[in-house]
Chains A and B, each alone.
Chain A
């Protein structure tokens, strides 16, 4: 009898554990491979952590009394830095930048890790939660707000940020404390096909254009034939908060305590943005594009104007067989332009000396003359610096000829309305705008529904 009970318990336990294992297997090999990738990434991080721990243990006892500002001493420090911006072709340049940095600061060794954008945030979140995050790393704007609100970022002190552009700096300040440095910046301009404009007999866009001007030109280009499209500006959340600003509207009120998505100004912006697709048909819908990307459409020479990022300059240079140029994007009742920047942040649970070294590294990366020059030469976005001489090297590269528009756009820049639940808010609004763009609901209804859903699901502090 006893034997039966024991073997039954063992059998039950074995089945339970095996079913659990089976269920984990049933989840699919991709879950395991991404898990393997993140464990591998965490593995490399923990290897460097182990070596850092031993050197940190030696230097911590010396440094415990020193303030962060004083610990730029000659004690060798090893820190880890993780980023996504360099992935996909710029790893070499980042390494060259590090070599230049290391020449100036031979006591600071930086172990650089570059991970692709798609996998980056999942693994970073896991690492931060598990306590194995790198000493400094990169975040995009949305995640910056979430991370800084949850207290996992260290305030950046003890460095000279005079070289850095004020607006870019402000974007990464929370309640007056600096939590990130702008690693680079990029923005969005109106890029247009000069040959198509000539064909349609329309004069080129100027910096003063409004959406009315743009749509009028788009209609003339669309009239060239069924295959031709006048303009493309995305109908997504990312485009919408900017176009709302162009009509004097905004998604949140001044102190970000309330959603103001369904205001009249916003509705006007949404009607213009979506009307290009659903009413005047100068912009192709998802169905019309049939899987083709907007930049592909522009490169094929069948799109008159495209509102897209300056990072497309080098791609268009190689792929476009026609003349093209750029201008500040059209405005509504006022001008508003995008400003994209990635934050370089410091891990709040890193040791004091590592935090100091990390601050020196990211400040150098963001604002030193050498890194800025290297960045511009490699066309790897733009440094968010004040030094106009270095920035002017960017202007000398062509095409497009009117690169000055990139800097003119900075006069009207708006940053995204950052709140803690930024991802959720942008997904909700994106979804509603998508429904409006496919004609399921009107733009007004989209904004009303978005307002309702955001107020229900998201609590603003």
Chain B
């Protein structure tokens, strides 16, 4: 009997080996190497062998420089600004979509597809189109605003409105993704809860806040973690729509990592930056995981 289970395990391991091998070579190994690079001054251009690493080893100098300089903190500020605007909006939008699709009788299938299409588009294509949509002179957004008598701002070239513009595009792109998650969460709520509450005379609002939200909290929690991790890694929209401008108003963590690594030939510095980002996201996720006891209700 033991031998049979052992054989099963070996068989299972062999089947998983190709997939593991790919992940190790293309994901795990580069990640470990980047730790080493972050301790060097490597410029990203010269061949990376042991002598190059030994020659450019600087210990924790990159980390000290990053944390000691003002740029890291202002860039972190921009990233947090994005997150503070983005997370509530995307949750609101996804909840709305989930509720609509949940209650819809006819045409639900078609709407599900329509809301999900933005999720499937590439960020590069979406950013290019949003750049045009937000054009101060020719863009659709400002023309619609003009039709109702509002003079639209210069969006991507206005320091105040550049980040909100990126938030807008990001919410548009992601709300289908989280909406579908929340929809399945809504579908998982037992109808008996609602029936019991209606018998007790609860109105729609009470139903929503006392039954729907608490029982949806596991899905909400998952969406929160995913959207936070993604929001910290904000990149393609910034690179294409504003390039970090205007006047550095939309410089975020990954944009800085890319610029230092590929424009300034400071790959060691960029690696250190990305590991600091990792630590940040890691700590935040841990905090969320600990904090879920307060508000996430799992059905026992």
Contact = CB atoms under 8 A, between A and B. Distances in A.
B118 to A, nearest CB: 12
Interface stretch (B39-47, B102-110, B198-206): B39-47
Contacts of A50: none
Interface residues of B, number: 41
Interface string B226-238: 1001100101100
A108 B243 CA distance: 41
A435 interface: yes
B73 interface: no
A168 to B, nearest CB: 25
A251 to B, nearest CB: 17
A17 interface: yes
Contacts of A287: 154, 157-158
A30 B123 contact: yes
Interface string B41-85: 001111110000000000000000000000000000000000000
B136 A423 contact: no
Given A291-B157, A434-B245, A17 B28 contact: yes
A158 interface: no
Given A21-B23, A28-B235, A291 B154 contact: yes
A287 B233 CA distance: 30
B187 interface: no
Nearest to A420: B265
Interface string B10-52: 0000000000100110011001000000000001111110000
A424 B23 contact: no
Interface stretch (A122-130, A159-167, A253-261, A355-363): A122-130
A421 interface: yes
A20 interface: yes
Contacts of B138: 291
B196 to A, nearest CB: 38
A290 interface: yes
A286 B246 contact: yes
B214 interface: no
Q: Interface residues of A: mostly helix, strand, loop or mixed?
A: helix
5 contacts: A26-B229, A125-B262, A129-B46, A291-B138, A434-B247
A122 B262 contact: yes
Contacts of A440: 247
B45 A434 contact: no
A292 B263 CA distance: 27
Given A26-B226, A28-B123, A146 B45 contact: yes
Nearest to A23: B229
Top 6 A-B residue pairs of the complex, sorted by shortest distance between their CB atoms: A30-B123, A290-B136, A30-B236, A30-B124, A291-B136, A424-B264
A20 B246 contact: no
B41 to A, nearest CB: 11
A26 B137 contact: no
Given A26-B233, A29-B122, A150-B46, A121 B23 contact: no
A17 B226 contact: no
Given A129-B44, A129-B46, 13 more contacts: A17-B28, A20-B27, A20-B31, A26-B230, A28-B233, A30-B127, A121-B263, A125-B44, A125-B262, A129-B47, A291-B135, A291-B154, A434-B247
Interface in A114-146: 121-122, 125, 128-129, 131, 146
Contacts of A17: 20, 23-24, 27-28
A431 interface: yes
A152 B20 CA distance: 35
B47 A150 contact: no
A225 interface: no
Interface in A383-435: 421, 423-424, 427, 431, 434-435
A431 B247 CA distance: 6
